Structure 1
Amino acid sequence: MPVHIQSVEPIDNGLRVTVCEGQYAAVLPSDSAPNQMVSLAANKVTGELRDPLDTVLVNRIELTQNHPRIPAGASDVDTLQEGPAPAPVGDVFGHWFITGASSSLWGPVDADPPDFFVTPDMRRQCQEAMPDSPEKQIEMATGFKDTPPPHGKPIPGWPLAPQ
C-alpha cells in the first residue's frame, strides 16, 4: 500500500504527523464473490466506493522523544533509514514513541462535539499525493479482482539490515 507523509508539525512534546495511506492498492478476500478480492477502500460486499475520496485514508500520529518507557542512556537511531527493502527489519524509531494515532476522531473520547480532524480537502490532498492518479485509484479500488494489484518499488525503502 502506498504511504505518503503529508506533513510533520512540531507540537508541545514532540511531533504531529499526517500520513496518507493508499488503501485502493491493498486487497482482501471478498465476502460475497468466491475466489475474488476487493480493495480495502471498497465496500466488501458490493466492491463499490461510497465516495471517490475513499481511495485514501488520512491518519494523524503524535510522537514524543520524552517518554518514560524509553530507558535512560538508550541509543537513538540517527542513520538515514532507506534502501531496497519494503519494510524495516529492526527498530527505526529509536527514542521516538507514538503517543496517539487515529484516522477519524482526535482528543478525549467524550468530547462534545468530537473533533473529526479529517477534512475533504485533506483527503483530496492525500489522494493527489499518491503515485497513482485519482482516476487510476478509483479504477483499482472499484469492483472485484482476480489478482492483487502490482506493487511498486519501495520509495525510499528500508535498509536490508538494521542501521
Structure 2
Amino acid sequence: MASIVPRQRWDGTTAFSVRWRDPKTRRQHRVTLRSEKETSSLARYLNDNGQIPAHALPDARTGNPSVPTVADLVQEHIDLLVRPSLGAIGTYQRILDLHIRETIGTIPVDAFGYRDTMQWLKHLNAKGAAPKSIHNMHGLLSAAMNTALLLGYVSRNPCRGVPLPTIERADDQCQVPHPRRVQSPP
C-alpha cells in the first residue's frame, strides 16, 4: 500500500513523498513531488495498479514495458535534484545537450550497458575532452543511472566500475629541488 509522507525542507516548505514496496522485488521506493495533490494522485494510482509505477506498465503500442532513453533519464535526474548549487543545473544541462543527447541519448536505459559507457568515454577522449571534464560528465551519467536504479528502470548501474582517465594535478608534477646553499669553509 502506497503511503504519503510529508517532510520539512531546509527552506521551511513542506515536501510530500510517496512510498511503496515493489511487489516483485519487495524493495521499497520513494518519490518526492511538488504538491500534496500530485502525491495523493500517485499514491492512488499505485494502490489501484498493484504498486506498479506507470513506467513499468506495458506500452499499448508495443506490449513492452516503456523505459526512457538515456537523454530522457538524465533530464529527469536533473529535474529531480532537490538542492543543486548555483549554476549546477546549467552545467548539467550543457553536458546533456553537448555530450549525451547526440551520442548515447537515444539508447533506451534498459539497453544501455558497460560497452556503451566505455565507447562513450573513448569518444569523449578522442574529441579532446580533458580528463577532469570526462570525470564530471561520467559523474552526471552515473548519478542519473543511480536514479534509474531507484526508479526501477534498470537493475544495475552500467557506469559503476568503469576505468576513467587519470587526472594530473599541478602538485603531482616533478619539481626540481632547489640547489643547496654551499657554505664556504671556515
Would you call these one fold, judging by a TM-score over 0.5? Answer: no
Q: Which has the higher contact order (CA 8 A, sep 6+)?
A: 1
Higher strand share: 1
How high is the TM-score relative to the length of structure 2? 0.21
How high is the TM-score relative to the length of structure 1? 0.23
Q: Considering only CA atoms, is the larger Rg found in Structure 1 or Structure 2?
A: 2
Higher helix share: 2
